[in-house]
């Protein structure tokens, strides 16, 4: 308890030096005698002194807080993503002496973010996803707040970091085509999420790379509910589509349910893949072919970028992280093709 009230002035007095000296001994800035530094450091350690970061911040016009913007809407499938992101971010921040301040925003309300900025509680911000019409991003730009976006955006002024969703989807789709898929359907979520568009592009890239492929493909976007998926799947079965590509594990789960209800065997009668590998499908049988990203690493790097920016260092505007395609049972070449 007592340590909590120990101040730099106490130490200075105790050691018979000035506050300036103590400050310098701790920060390492400014010239200071080796011996003096040691004396101070020993005292500090012995008494478990730790500086008041808030006061330090006030003097330096910094807060040592990073703002983390999280969507407040509930979408179960994305939750593991955000949690892992948070983990990576908060670890990296912690290691650099920063803490993470939370701002939850919804499509129409970014007041929590505004508060944090207005109250000067943060030095910079990490956005955890990008939208086509991105209110938080706009706000930060207008107010000159440094930030990095997890996700992609065409605005070349924003420092952004993302997994290569397009490349990943291109490769996965390519494998399906090369594996003999003749008719396939893509089911995706909201188009306002830029990641949705990138996945779609990757899907299409694969066809463009194979001009000789002749088959049928169709795309359903902005699909959000299980009911919609149900309808779509029903239609696809009538049209004898043989492969369903889902943009995320929630949609994939719905597709699997719909197929199960209708007694359609996977992969026997229908191949199914997901463009995102969360734990939602973990216990599914058969195991689902999908793409895996290292999300915690994404969080760590995003935070690292922001930290660099805050240090005044120049950073790459665009960072693209890798992916891993995991082929599993749901796309095993079917013994009796549909």
Partner DNA sequence: CTGAAAGCGCTTACAG
Q: Which of 53, 237, 287, 325 binds a copy of itself (CB under 8 A)?
A: 53
Instruction: Supply the minimum distance, in Å, between the C-beta of residue 39 and DNA.
Output: 9
| Residue 102 contact among DNA, a copy of itself, none, beta carbon within 5 to 8 Å by kind | a copy of itself
Min dist. Cβ of residue 98 to DNA (A):
15
- Kindly state whether residue 6 participates in binding a copy of itself, applying the rule CB under 8 A: no
Is residue 1 part of the contact set for a copy of itself (CB under 8 A)? yes
Q: Which stretch binds a copy of itself (CB under 8 A): 30-38, 101-109, 130-138, 234-242?
A: 101-109
Q: Which range, of 69-77, 132-140, 152-160, 330-338, touches a copy of itself by CB under 8 A? A: 69-77
Which of 16, 144, 312, 335: binder of a copy of itself (CB under 8 A)? Answer: 144
Q: In this structure, what token pair is assigned to residue 277?
A: 């590998």
The angle at the Cα of 199, spanning 255 to 192, to the nearest 5 degrees, equals: 90
Q: 32 or 150, CB closer to DNA?
A: 32
Cα dihedral sign, 24-30-31-34: positive
HSE, CB side, 13 Å, CA atoms: give it for residue 223.
Answer: 25
Residues 6+ apart with CB under 8 A from 272: 243, 244, 246, 252, 255, 256, 259, 266, 288, 289, 330, 331
Q: What is the DSSP letter of 279?
A: S
- Strands 183-187, 159-163: pairing is unpaired
Kindly give the residue spans of alpha helices, DSSP state H, lying in the chain: 8-15, 19-27, 34-46, 53-60, 79-95, 111-118, 135-142, 165-178, 194-208, 226-238, 249-261, 295-310
| Closest to a copy of itself by CB, 65 or 152 | 65
Judging by beta carbons within 10 Å of its beta carbon (0-12, 13-18, 19+), is residue 223 exposed, middle or buried? buried
Q: Based on CB atoms, which residue is closest to DNA, 29 or 333?
A: 29
- The binding site for DNA (CB under 7 A) comprises 5-9, 16-21, 23-24, 26-27, 29-37, 51-52, 55-56, 58-61
Cβ contact 254:224 at 8 Å: no
DSSP-assigned beta bridge partners for residue 148: 126, 159
Nearer residue to DNA within complex by CB, 21 or 271:
21
Region near a copy of itself per CB under 8 A, out of 37-45, 71-79, 172-180, 205-213: 71-79
Binds 96, which of DNA, a copy of itself, none (CB < 5 to 8 A, cut-off by type)? none
Smallest CA-to-CA distance from 60 within 17, 7, 23 is with 23
The stretch near a copy of itself (CB under 8 A) out of 38-46, 175-183, 214-222, 249-257 is 249-257
Tokens standing for residue 242? 């043989």
Choose, by CB under 8 A, the member of 12, 15, 17, 79 that binds a copy of itself: 79
Task: From 35-43, 49-57, 147-155, 190-198, give the range in contact with a copy of itself by CB under 8 A.
Answer: 49-57
Q: Which stretch binds a copy of itself (CB under 8 A): 74-82, 130-138, 176-184, 265-273?
A: 74-82
| Binding of a copy of itself by 318 (CB under 8 A) | no
Query: Counting contacts by CB under 8 A, is residue 99 touching a copy of itself?
Result: yes
Which of 283, 311, 313, 336 contacts a copy of itself by CB under 8 A? 283
Which of DNA, a copy of itself, none has residue 182 at its interface (CB below 5 to 8 Å by kind)? Answer: none
Strands 99-105, 216-220: pairing is unpaired
Site residue total, a copy of itself (CB under 8 A):
56
Closer of 24 and 129 to DNA (Cβ): 24
In this structure, what are the phi and psi dihedrals at residue 251, rounded to the nearest 5 degrees? Answer: -60, -40
Whole-angstrom distance, CA of residue 102 vs CA of residue 113:
8
């Amino acid at each position: 308890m007592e340590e909590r009230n120990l101040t730099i002035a106490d130490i200075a007095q105790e050691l018979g030096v000035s506050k300036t000296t103590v400050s310098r001994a701790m920060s390492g800035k400014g010239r200071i005698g080796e011996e003096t530094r040691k004396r101070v450091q020993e005292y500090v350690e012995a008494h478990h002194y730790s500086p008041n970061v808030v006061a330090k911040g006030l003097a330096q016009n910094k807060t040592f807080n990073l703002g983390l913007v999280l969507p407040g809407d509930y979408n179960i499938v994305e939750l593991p993503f955000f949690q892992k992101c948070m983990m990576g971010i908060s670890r990296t921040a912690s290691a650099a002496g920063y803490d993470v301040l939370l701002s939850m925003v919804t499509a129409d309300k970014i007041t929590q973010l505004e508060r944090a900025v207005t109250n000067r509680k943060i030095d910079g911000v990490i956005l955890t996803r990008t939208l086509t019409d991105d209110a938080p991003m706009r706000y930060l730009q207008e107010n000159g707040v440094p930030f990095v976006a997890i996700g992609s955006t065409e605005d070349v002024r924003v420092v952004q970091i993302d997994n290569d969703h397009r490349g990943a989807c291109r490769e996965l789709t390519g494998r399906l085509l090369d594996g003999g898929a003749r008719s396939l359907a893509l089911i995706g979520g909201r188009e306002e999420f830029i990641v949705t568009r990138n996945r779609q592009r990757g899907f299409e890239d694969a066809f463009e790379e194979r001009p000789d492929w002749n088959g049928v493909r169709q795309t359903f976007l902005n699909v959000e509910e299980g009911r919609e998926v149900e309808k779509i799947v029903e239609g696809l079965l009538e049209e004898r589509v043989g492969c369903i590509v889902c943009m995320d594990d929630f949609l994939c789960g719905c597709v699997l349910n719909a197929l199960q209800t209708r007694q359609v065997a996977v992969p026997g009668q229908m191949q199914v893949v997901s463009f995102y590998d969360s734990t939602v499908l973990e216990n599914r049988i058969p195991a689902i072919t999908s793409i895996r990203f290292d999300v915690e690493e994404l969080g760590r790097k995003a935070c690292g970028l922001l930290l660099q920016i805050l240090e005044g260092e120049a950073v790459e505007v665009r960072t693209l992280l890798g992916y891993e395609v995991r082929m599993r049972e749901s796309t095993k070449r079917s013994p009796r093709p549909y």
